[in-house]
Structure 1
């Protein structure tokens, strides 16, 4: 099976234009399956894999305590791979047809309070160029709700500070325009004028907007470490990742009355249901709206106490 994984990933890259991170996810899922099949069933050929082999593998994942989300993702990987194997003659039958994803665990994304966001944004030390860069990156992430890969993939030409817009390339190469706040624009200008030139190596030509101390494009892993450091120094007790600011961006917009369609477009969600997870935090307002505006409501909680 191992020898068939690379052609499959090449097929995905050519036909679905997936990002490198997505391709890595497929690769890890399939390589783990390959190892398990060889260890438990002495199977090395894709053509020898049967439905009961896949069922046994999924059962082992459940025994290991893997989440439903992890199992569902692996099933998606397997279904795509074996469909490719069938179409290319690597197997005579698709053994993944009867695999069913477990029921999704509906969890509300974790977001920061406004006060925690403020403390996090103000955490970088602005006495040097790295601190100014970090502040600009944090402001941009919270102002746009970008994914961390979208943030680190930004180039200088993607920024229109005069229009307060960023051009963002999302999953599948789709591009969207995202507005930024005036505060984010101001920090972006400060970074580009004062900090970025000092971070670049003399004479170097670098298109990346955000660069590391080496003068090259900031990596997602590098920014992950930075946001962890600033969250700790700010005393934010909630676990903070780059995606936490994305969730906070969406929650705070919806809480302040933004419509879901607009938030969906800014987040780059292809399906509105992915954006609807941010709605529950606003439902607490429904009683106040009802009590204030329904003509037949006379006293709200006072009536309930009588």
Structure 2
């Protein structure tokens, strides 16, 4: 079997039957093409690969210094691929079935303090009101992005890809299309609604805005704001606000949203729903963050601590 053809068929199935997002499909493609290149070097085609070929591939990734998380992701892509071949009758076995996923340490998410987030949001709002700021629309866009992100905990891809219509139907909630095209409602805070209203007023006054389908369109090209552009603007804002830029990113603000909710008594199931996690075990990582902070607090301040 030709690897290129079977990979294309697999990706088509993932898109049509499982509603996989473009980013997910691109990730599958990269991982499977890398595996196909390795198996060709061993004299085999990926669709016909044996367990020894896949094991050798994992060993090679270890030798090259790939993180356990990267290895596990690539093995997961291969498992899905071979299950597809089995279901289609193109193979009679699954060569990944006897392989164990690389063990990985569960790293705690990076978070920001409420004080640091407050400084970031205050600076963003201040720049929308500063007469010295020339590009008022860009400043309003950044402030609205931050307020919305911290109010909802959306994934950055969900945020920048919001259609313009979602902010006009009901300012109290946003309808978000997440992974696997699953939809969920997320509430907007009063500050986020205020920022959104100010931003939309100026955005709608821009020439050609009527025909733009994106809530946060790119200024220099077609399409919506790129995640990388948002990340750069966020880091630059953090520097101006006196917040460390070493760990700041849109994803860190998503982590901050979840951690701060739990710190202030939110229910874990509610946070799971807001984040769009299909499995609550993914959300439980934030409880470990709280446990670590409590342990550190006791260690530093208890009179009997060593």
Selected match of 1:259 from 241, 252, 267: 267
TM-score, length of structure 2 as denominator length: 0.86
Greater Cα radius of gyration, structure 1 or 2 = 1
Cα contact 1:2–1:44 (8 A) shared by 2: no
C-alpha RMSD of matched pairs (Å): 2.5
Is 1:114 the equivalent of 2:114?
yes
Structure 1 distance, partners of 2:209, 2:277, is: 39
Is 1:210 the equivalent of 2:219?
no
Cα contact 2:40–2:46 (8 A) shared by 1: no
Structure 2 distance, partners of 1:228, 1:142, is: 15
Q: Which runs of 5+ in 2 are unaligned?
A: none
TM-score, length of structure 1 as denominator length: 0.86
- Cα 1:142/1:203, change in 2 over 3 Å: closer
Is 1:229 the equivalent of 2:230?
no
Structure 1 distance, partners of 2:218, 2:121, is: 19
State the 1:2 CA deviation. Answer: 2.4
Is 1:153 the equivalent of 2:155?
no
Cα contact 2:35–2:46 (8 A) shared by 1: no
Larger displacement relative to structure 2 (267-276 or 98-107): 98-107
Q: Secondary structure at the match of 1:166?
A: strand
Cα contact 1:255–1:281 (8 A) shared by 2: no
State the 1:73 CA deviation. Answer: 0.9
Q: How many residues align?
A: 290
Structure 2 distance, partners of 1:107, 1:240, is: 17
Q: Secondary structure at the match of 2:185?
A: strand
Q: Which runs of 4+ in 1 moved over 4 A?
A: 160-163, 284-288
- Which residue does the alignment assign to 1:72? 72
Cα contact 1:51–1:96 (8 A) shared by 2: yes
Deviations 1:115-150 (A, max 9, x none): 221232244432311011111001111110000111
Structure 2 distance, partners of 1:211, 1:37, is: 42
- Which residue does the alignment assign to 1:298? none
Cα contact 2:86–2:93 (8 A) shared by 1: yes
- Cα 1:281/1:210, change in 2 over 3 Å: same
Q: Which runs of 5+ in 1 are unaligned?
A: 289-300
State the 1:286 CA deviation. Answer: 9.2
Q: Secondary structure at the match of 1:109?
A: coil
- Which residue does the alignment assign to 1:96? 96
State the 1:276 CA deviation. Answer: 0.8
- Cα 1:96/1:233, change in 2 over 3 Å: same
State the 1:4 CA deviation. Answer: 1.5
Cα contact 1:161–1:185 (8 A) shared by 2: no
Q: Aligned runs of 1:255-294 on 2, under 5 Å?
A: 255-283=263-291
Is 1:30 the equivalent of 2:37?
no
